[in-house]
Copies of this chain bind each other. A is one copy, B any other.
Amino acid sequence: MKRKISLKDIAAKVGVSTALVSYVLNNKKSGRIRVEVAQKIKEAARELNYRPNQIAKSLKLNKTYTLGLIVADISNPFFSTLARIIEDEADKHNYTVIFGSADENAAKSFKLINTLMDRQVDGLIIAPAENAESNIKYLQDHEMPFVLIDRNFPAISTNWVCLNNFKASFSALQHLLDRGSKKPGLLTYKTSLYNISERKRGYEIALLENNVMFQPTWLKEVSFSEDMRTAVENALDEMLGGNSPVDSILFSSNILATYGLKYIHSRDIRIPDDLALITFDEMDASDLFYAPLTYIKQPIQDMGEIATQILLENIDAIKKTQQVKLEGDLIIRKSTEMVE
């Protein structure tokens, strides 16, 4: 790589010290610099096509204008959409984004946190993995500004921006029951992640409040580690088989829904006649499925923007922690149009 133009080069060309060049190009000491010298310096900078070395600047100023983004998997549409929103919001404030995928793994997440902190990111936006409480503690110990997104830990006081998962899930269930489902199922993750457990709680409370006797086979949890596709298929087999098969399913994530829908499709189960469906998150497939899917729309734009804004506020000054719970929106479509 070619050596880049530095302050020194400009200084040499004009015949002044680097200090003066720095002052001029940063508009400091504006009153005190001879106009013609300032002119010359600016001209030289333009001619040489000077671009400040941000690494040097970062070192001196102890500020990198870089945000770290840690999600489960950047190739998951939910997270890549979020990444795009965060990128745009960060760019508005002249920040760039470094990202990493932690694969729902707290150890990998910790490694990423360290990698990003070693690079002196000014702050972090994190969709934390299960059991990542110690990571959070670590960040707090180091007074590193950060915001949790999508998931939070209720026992730890941090900044976070999350969906009202309980309510979203509750509303979805209420809708299913209102539409005549007698045996609604929930396919979700086996995890202690709070957002996911809130989705489960929404399901359970909705059944309770509607006096529906819950059957264990209606609720299936698949874990992150195993072969997800097979796990989903087995779970669905159990939900749909036995002596009390479900007549509707709420999928707890876009990933689960994708695997689930493919399997349901292959098994020739009719939607919504044999089975009503609701998914968390919109997917391209939501529109393309023969029965357009009822889904819980997450306010992902707000989520990304607010998280970034909170983070930037916390970078600029110490703020009291902010916790934002956003409401989802149930978009009702064909997959829950049951005929009794």
Chain A contact residues, CB within 8 Å of chain B: 1-2, 4, 51-56, 58-59, 64, 66, 73-77, 79-81, 83-84, 87-88, 91, 96-101, 114-120, 141-145, 258, 261-262, 265, 283-285, 287-290
Contacts and interface: CB of A to CB of B under 8 A. Distances in A.
Contacts of A77: 75, 77, 80
Q: Give the number of times this chain occurs in the complex, counting copies.
A: 2
Given A52-B118, A56-B59, A288-B289, 16 more contacts: A4-B142, A53-B118, A55-B64, A55-B119, A66-B98, A73-B84, A75-B77, A75-B80, A76-B80, A80-B83, A88-B101, A97-B98, A97-B99, A265-B288, A283-B284, A284-B285
Contacts of A289: 288-290
Nearest to A290: B290
Contact of A143 (B1, B144, B145, B261): B1
Nearest to A86: B74
Contact of A258 (B80, B97, B143, B284): B284
Contacts of A141: 2
A281 B262 CA distance: 18
Q: Which of A51, A83, A99 has the most CB of B within 10 A?
A: A99
Nearest to A264: B288
Contacts of A287: 261-262, 265
Contact of A99 (B59, B87, B144): B87
Q: Which 10 A-B pairs have the closest CB atoms?
A: A80-B80, A75-B84, A285-B288, A2-B143, A290-B290, A285-B285, A75-B81, A54-B118, A262-B287, A54-B119
Contacts of A145: 1
Given A54-B120, A118-B54, A284-B285, A87 B74 contact: yes
A77 B81 CA distance: 9
Contact of A59 (B2, B55, B119): B55
Contacts of A81: 75
A87 B59 contact: no
A190 to B, nearest CB: 23
